[in-house]
Amino acid sequence: MNSKNDNIKLRELFEQVANIYQQARPDYPEKMFDDLIHTTNLNPDDRLLEVGCATGKATLPLAKRGLKITCVELGAELATIARQNLVGMDVDIINGSFEDWQPEAENGFDLVFAATAWKWIDPEVRYIKAWQVLRPGGHLAFWNADHVFPDGGDPFFREIQTVYYEICEGKSVENNDWLRPGELHEQKDEIEKSGLFEVVHIRHFDWECIYQVDEYIKLLGTFSGHILMEEWKRDKLFNEIRVRLNSRPEKSVRRHWGAVLHVARRKD
């Protein structure tokens, strides 16, 4: 199996957890959507294309702002749930891969965006395809939601590493695995190397979520690394997490999220 097929197989993993994805995954901060709209000068009724909407985590906040959105989602089950979550919105959800999808309309989109999905799209194709479907002067935007570790953050994540090491799934001790807010990788060079886009805006966002024990287990169950774990490893890990968090007075964990919003303008 080559790396391209590996990537497609990994993308398909999320179908297995479609039923818990919407509830478990974090909402993105409203100020990030405001920043995106301000930067790209989007107006109600502008046409957006979302790459990999999953269950609609990023789709709904933008649809509520009056934007018309077409989503291309690889997972059939994820697409079905997204349709349920977006009833009444001006959103069209197409089940298929972004790489193979062909738009019907000739006039291009005002914005192509991807929320925690851009990394799953074939790097040989993604910038070319986005350029092709955008109108002249249109924008590309993407971000991931990643775990960040602020000074004074919850010590749980370093403490639980002993269990990850026991099951041979531990983080490296190097600092680049324990990034603080504002330290996440920026992809300016990669975008500009495509020769098709000019980066106009990069901004870091961070926010905190508090998870009760079962909520946190559910969240971990939506990550590809945990889905792929051997069952005995996952059982051992989740049991140990339950024991440790249930011994806390608040029976919860504070997790910090970080996102880097990248916005680039299409070169004509």
Query: Is 160 a member of any domain?
Result: no
Residue 243 neighbours by CB under 8 Å, 6+ apart:
none
Token pair for residue 230? 């051997």
CA dist., res. 196 & res. 190, Å (int): 11
Query: Is 105 a member of any domain?
Result: yes
Q: Are 154 and 254 in contact (CB under 8 A)?
A: yes
Half-sphere exposure of 47 (CA within 13 A, CB side): 12
pLDDT for the residue numbered 214: 96
Query: Is 164 a member of any domain?
Result: no
> Domain total for the chain?
1
CA dist., res. 152 & res. 170, Å (int): 22
Query: Is 141 a member of any domain?
Result: yes
Token pair for residue 17? 């957890």
pLDDT for the residue numbered 1: 40
Q: Which domain holds residue 131?
A: 3-150+176-209+256-266
Query: Is 159 a member of any domain?
Result: no
Query: Is 161 a member of any domain?
Result: no
Q: Choose among 179, 253, 246: nearest CA to 209.
A: 253
Token pair for residue 146? 């990643």
CA dist., res. 108 & res. 112, Å (int): 10
For residue 93, the domain's CATH number is 3.40.50.150
Token pair for residue 257? 């999220």
Q: Are 264 and 200 in contact (CB under 8 A)?
A: yes
Q: What 8-state DSSP symbol labels residue 177?
A: G
| Amino acid in position 78 | L
Query: Is 241 a member of any domain?
Result: no
Burial code of 86-122, b = ≥16 C-beta within 10 A, e = fewer?
A: beebebebebebbbebeeeeeebbbbbbbbbbbebbe
Angle at 42 between CA 37 and CA 45, to 5 degrees: 130
- Ramachandran sector of residue 54 (left: φ over 0; alpha: ψ -120 to 50; beta: rest): left
CA dist., res. 37 & res. 45, Å (int): 13
Strands (E), the chain: 47-51, 68-73, 91-95, 109-115, 134-143, 146-148, 197-212, 252-266
Using CA atoms in the order 250, 177, 197, 10, what is the torsion angle rounded to 10 degrees? -80
CA dist., res. 117 & res. 145, Å (int): 10
CA dist., res. 32 & res. 20, Å (int): 24
Query: Is 145 a member of any domain?
Result: yes
Q: What does each of the 268 residues of the chain score in pLDDT, given as a tens digit?
A: 445 565 556 666 677 777 888 888 999 999 999 999 999 999 999 999 999 999 999 999 999 999 999 999 999 999 999 999 999 999 999 999 999 999 887 669 999 999 999 999 999 899 999 999 999 999 999 999 999 999 999 999 999 999 999 999 877 655 568 999 999 999 999 999 999 999 999 999 999 999 999 999 999 999 988 988 999 999 999 999 999 999 999 999 999 999 999 999 999 9
